[in-house]
Amino acid sequence: MQSQDYHTSQQDSDRVDAILSTGPAPLPQTELLPKLHAIQQALGFIAADLVPAIAGAFNLSRAEVHGVITFYHHFQTTPPARHTLHLCQAEACRSMGAEQLLAHAEQALGCRLHGRSADGQFALEPVYCLGQCATSPALTLDHQLHARVTPARLDRLLAQATAGTVAAP
């Protein structure tokens, strides 16, 4: 788990304890996913140092909880990236160069889909249709929509995000 070095604050640990303390003890396994969602919603991610408390609340092994957290891409084990790039990988965009755009993004950020850039600033995620099929390939960067994106334009958007300036549509 990548968040091994992250130390959850006492305040956040208390929030997790509050989430885990609602229900019978031990909690039924059917509650594991809802509780993990609640923890991620509250903290933004599920740090490795929370796994023992979660496992204890469910009377599960740490390995079992770790396995569930890492099985689902939805669960993040590191603090949220500052920027999130969603690249459309659906059919219309793929026919207009989305695969090449993805390859370019992976090279520029130094990570694969579902990964983080080497500096931890960008998360690279797929999305499947943004309703911009006629102006594909499309992406969102920090929820801002961009269409007809070329690799050069993607570079500019990433540079603008890194510099903290508003990316031009």
Residue ranges that bind ligand FES, judged by CB under 6 A:
88, 90-93, 129-133, 136, 138
Instruction: Dig out the tokens for 22 from the structure.
Output: 């609602």
Spatial separation of the C-alpha atoms in residues 71 and 14, rounded to whole Å: 26
Taking the complex as a whole, the smallest distance from the CB of residue 109 to ligand FES amounts, in Å, to 20
Q: β-pairing, 122-127 with 144-146?
A: unpaired
Taking the complex as a whole, the smallest distance from the CB of residue 146 to ligand FES amounts, in Å, to 11
Taking the complex as a whole, the smallest distance from the CB of residue 51 to ligand FES amounts, in Å, to 37
Spatial separation of the C-alpha atoms in residues 25 and 29, rounded to whole Å: 11
Of 109 and 138, CB closest to ligand FES? 138
Of 40 and 136, CB closest to ligand FES? 136
Of 19 and 139, CB closest to ligand FES? 139
**Rounded to 10 degrees, what is the CA torsion of 25, 26, 30, 33?**
100
Q: β-pairing, 122-127 with 83-88?
A: parallel
Instruction: Dig out the tokens for 9 from the structure.
Output: 């604050």
Taking the complex as a whole, the smallest distance from the CB of residue 167 to ligand FES amounts, in Å, to 18
Which amino acid appears at position 102 of this protein? L
DSSP bridge partners of 144: 141
Of 133 and 167, CB closest to ligand FES? 133
Q: Which of 84, 72, 88 is nearest to 126 (CA)?
A: 88
Of 8 and 136, CB closest to ligand FES? 136
Taking the complex as a whole, the smallest distance from the CB of residue 24 to ligand FES amounts, in Å, to 45
